[in-house]
């Protein structure tokens, strides 16, 4: 059901983009919008991972420079039957993590120094398993595409603002003004809905990969608390990347509403607790001591 919902939302995002192109410039506008969407998605497909890692000042590590952290990822990769991704650390006091890359063969996972310092080894395993689940599900590509199309819709809205759009088309000037205001909002809502859907699925599969749903649940609670207290300066400067993180790096959302990029943290914890109680072959083990 999650995959079907994501497909429907992606189709809705693309349809919205083409419809705006048509309303602003007729059939020619729709064709131009389609070409622009292809070009932007093509660029994002090949370059988005490098751009976001550079944006956050992430440095690549290996078994020599970060042996325990790297070993965690190696073990989880074996559990998941996946290729080994590139492993990065971000110098950032806020506990958080994300994954990026167009497919499992070209993926990267990144954790902040705050996360590696605040969480136990088991909790770190839960977090990195969640990020590997995003890679396995190709969520990183899905979210890159949705972010790109959402940005393109915003670009079309700005075009209407500065150049007036097709005032003789459907709806005239009133229609143009409505597009300017409503289109970016609609795109943002669809993008957020896709993001929330993929987070729940990554929690479930991440729990399977690490074999410890309660460790991931505990990690989510700690990260949510840390994100609410500690600023992430890079994320504040680039809020469009907030959906990539395991927990919203900007502000902790108290409700699971339309305008949140992530599901409510307590809802996610509750689902993981239900998964742990239901068995499913998972064994919740005691957390190891603090690890940094």
Say if residues 85 and 99 touch (Cβ distance below 8 Å): yes
* The pairing of beta strand 86-90 with beta strand 107-112: parallel
How many CB atoms lie under 10 A from the CB of residue 167? 14
Confidence tier at 19 by pLDDT (50, 70, 90): confident
* CB-based burial label for 162 (10 Å; 0-12, 13-18, 19+): exposed
pLDDT, residue 166, reads 53
pLDDT in tens, 143-197: 766 766 766 676 666 666 555 555 455 555 665 566 666 666 666 666 666 677 7
The span from the CA of 128 to the CA of 110, in Å, is 9
Give 222's contacts (C-beta < 8 A, 6+ positions apart).
Answer: 95, 118, 119, 123
Task: Indicate if the alpha-carbon torsion angle 120, 121, 127, 131 is positive or negative.
Answer: positive
* Lowest-pLDDT choice from 67-81, 84-98, 142-156, 198-212: 142-156
Q: Where are the domains of the chain?
A: 2-277
- pTM attached to this predicted model: 0.77
- Bigger pLDDT: 254 or 188? 188
- Return the pLDDT at 184: 63
Among 68, 91, 123, 131, the one annotated catalytic = 131
Tokens of 117: 């310092």
Whether the Cβ atoms of residue 116 and residue 211 lie closer than 8 Å to each other: no
In the residue annotation, 131 being an active-site residue is answered as: yes
């Amino acid at each position: 059901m999650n995959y079907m919902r994501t497909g429907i939302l992606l189709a809705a995002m693309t349809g919205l983009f083409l419809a705006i192109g048509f309303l602003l410039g007729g059939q020619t506008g729709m064709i131009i919008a389609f070409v622009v969407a292809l070009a932007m998605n093509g660029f994002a497909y090949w370059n988005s991972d490098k751009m976001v890692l550079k944006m956050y000042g992430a440095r690549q590590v290996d078994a020599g420079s970060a042996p325990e952290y790297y070993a965690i990822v190696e073990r989880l990769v074996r559990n998941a039957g996946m290729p080994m991704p590139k492993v990065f650390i971000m110098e950032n006091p806020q506990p958080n993590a994300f994954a990026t890359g167009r497919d499992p063969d070209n993926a990267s996972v990144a954790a902040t120094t705050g996360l590696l310092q605040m969480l136990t080894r088991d909790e770190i395993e839960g977090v990195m398993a969640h990020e590997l689940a995003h890679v396995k599900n190709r969520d990183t590509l899905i979210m890159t595409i949705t972010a790109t199309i959402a940005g393109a819709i915003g670009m079309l809205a700005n075009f209407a603002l500065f150049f007036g759009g097709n005032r003789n088309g459907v709806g005239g000037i009133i229609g143009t003004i409505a597009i300017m205001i409503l289109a970016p909002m609609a795109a943002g809502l669809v993008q957020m809905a896709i993001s929330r859907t993929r987070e729940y699925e990554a929690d479930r599969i991440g729990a399977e990969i690490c074999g410890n749903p309660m460790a991931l649940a505990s990690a989510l609670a700690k990260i949510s608390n840390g994100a609410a207290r500690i600023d992430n300066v890079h994320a504040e400067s680039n809020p469009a990347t907030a959906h990539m993180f395991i927990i919203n790096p900007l502000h902790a959302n108290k409700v699971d509403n339309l305008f949140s990029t992530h599901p409510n943290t307590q809802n996610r914890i509750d689902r993981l607790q239900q998964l742990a109680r239901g068995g499913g072959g998972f064994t919740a083990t005691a957390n190891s001591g603090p690890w940094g």
